[in-house]
Amino acid sequence: MINAKTKKYIEDLLKKADVKINGKRDWDIQVHNELLYNRVLAEGILGLGEAYMDGWWDCKKLDVFIEKVLSARLDKQVKGSAHVFWSLLWAKINNMQTKVKAKKVGEQHYDVGNDLYKAMLDKRMVYTCGYWKNAKTLDKAQEDKLDLVCKKVKLKPGMKVLDIGCGWGSFAKYAAEKYKVKVVGITISKEQVKLAKELCKGLDVEIRLQDYRDVDEKFDAIASLGMFEHVGYKNYREYMKVVKKCLKDDGLFLLHTIAGNTSVVSTNPWLAKYIFPNSMLPSAKQITSATESLFILQDWQNFGLDYDKTLMEWYNNFVKAWPKLKKNYNNRFFRMWTYYLLICAGSFRTNSLAQNQLWQIVFSKKGLDKVYEGTR
């Protein structure tokens, strides 16, 4: 049953973000099922996303809609159901990123299909933020990012490098090709291991299906690109201890991660359910607390706005490839994946409000013999 007061409340709420229900502008939402209002008020962010997947509403420019909603802080005004409260409480009580539970994101997200990622990503299959400072294409932005990482950890021929969360081997392959280093890449995704081994064939690269907690050997440098979001706040300190144990005394460690300005213990409930189970974004406080007495901070760079461009490129590639992809995925998946890419793009676009950020942080185990010069 539709409650007129609920509809009016949602209409007034959206006005604060300059969004109109069934309006004519690209960012106005088109409502196909008026039960949407009750659902959003009862279930918040989770209900809004699930209703989109169910076809209850549409928006021509979903990324702009999300940008406006977040800029107006409407997400803080509609909290959601008891389900969200209990999920938050559960995350505080339990370690949701144990070795067993950590495998869930590999199975649900990274194993969804290599055909999807081949179509969506750049030619090197880099599934992290590109660096757009001097780039006009996705391929160039991703190569520039990989080179930025290599330069920041001061790679030299003959070094042995650990890539924690190696994906499809993009960084491992680039570093081995361009900097003549040996790379060990680890991931918890079986599909990534399979394709990464194929893409890195003939290079001094070893790809392993392995949890970071099981690595026990020394490396000249360590990089982790877009994996720390899956570690969980209960494991940050353990993660850093593993890195310290595996890094040689004169080595450098680079952490590339999406982050937030506030310490949290869980993530957006819709993203947690459908895209990245058991994930969460770290804060500066959580990262520095986890590294205290273990590492010396050498460099910290934020280029979160570049993720907006990267996500929109991924979205455009996904839509372009959909006629070929749809034989393996249904229309509900198309709406889910569209929603995922565009709400993330919109959230990074509100970087000035510290919704989402992208950090590259460089650490050393001991003091350096000269001032660290950060590459940009």
Report the pLDDT value the prediction gives residue 265, as an integer from 0 to 100: 79
Number of Cβ within a 10 Å radius of residue 107: 14
In this predicted structure, what is the pLDDT of residue 103? 52
Report H helices in the chain.
4-15, 36-53, 62-71, 82-93, 99-105, 114-120, 138-152, 170-179, 190-199, 236-246, 269-274, 284-291, 305-325, 331-349
Alpha carbons within 13 angstroms on the beta-carbon side of residue 301 total 19
Position 248 scores a pLDDT of 97
**Mean pLDDT per 10-residue section of the chain, whose length is 376 residues:** 81 94 98 93 90 98 94 71 41 49 58 91 98 98 98 98 98 98 96 96 98 97 97 95 97 97 85 89 96 97 96 98 96 97 93 75 90 90
pLDDT at site 92: 45
pLDDT of residue 89: 39
Q: How far lies 253's CA from each of 19, 20, 71, 155, 219, in Å?
A: 44, 48, 34, 11, 10
User: In the prediction, which pLDDT does 236 show?
Assistant: 97
- pLDDT at 108 (0 to 100): 61
* Category of 202 on φ-ψ map: left (φ > 0), alpha (ψ -120 to 50) or beta: left
- The DSSP-derived string for 134-203 is T-SSHHHHHHHHHHHHHHHTT--TT-EEEEET-TTTHHHHHHHHHH--EEEEEES-HHHHHHHHHHTTTS
Written as one letter, the residue type at 57 is: W
Q: Supply the pTM of this predicted model.
A: 0.91
Residue 33 three-state SS:
coil
State pLDDT tens for residues 76-110: 666 554 444 434 334 444 454 555 554 555 566 77
Torsion of CA 73, 78, 81, 87, to 10 degrees: 10
Dump pLDDT digits (tens) for 10-43: 999 999 999 999 999 999 999 999 999 998 888 8
Identify the three-state secondary structure at position 348.
helix
What are the residue numbers of the active site? 344
